[in-house]
Amino acid sequence: MRVLCKCGSRAIISRSEAVTDDCANLLCSCTDPECGHTFVSPLGYKHSLAQSALDTAATVPVVNGSRVTCGCGERAVITKTNRLSNDCADLYYLCKNPACGHKFVMSLYYSHSLSPSSKTTNELAVALVKALTPNQRQNLQQQMSLF
Task: Name residues contacting Zn ion, limited to 51-110 (CB under 5 A).
Answer: 70, 72, 74, 95, 97, 100, 102
Q: Does 5 bind Zn ion (CB under 5 A)?
A: yes
Buried b (16+ CB within 10 A) or exposed e, 33-53: eebbbbbbbbbbbeebeeebe
Buried b (16+ CB within 10 A) or exposed e, 95-133: bebeebbbbbbbbbbbeeeeeebbbeeeeeeeeeeeeee
Minimum separation from the CB atom of position 100 to Zn ion (A): 3
Please say which residue, 17 or 34, places its beta carbon nearer to Zn ion: 34
- Alpha helix segments (H runs only) across 18-133: 118-130
Minimum separation from the CB atom of position 126 to Zn ion (A): 17
Provide the 3-class DSSP secondary structure of residue 21: coil
Binding residue for Zn ion, selected from 3, 4, 35, 108, defined by CB under 5 A:
35
Stretch that binds Zn ion, among 4-12, 85-93, 105-113, 128-136 (CB under 5 A): 4-12
CA–CA distance, 26 with 2 (Å, rounded to integer): 12
Give the HSE-up count for residue 95: Cα atoms under 13 Å, Cβ half-sphere.
Answer: 25
Total site size for Zn ion, rule CB under 5 A: 14
Please say which residue, 12 or 140, places its beta carbon nearer to Zn ion: 12
Please say which residue, 74 or 87, places its beta carbon nearer to Zn ion: 74
**Binding-site ranges for Zn ion (CB under 5 A):** 5, 7, 9, 30, 32, 35, 37, 70, 72, 74, 95, 97, 100, 102
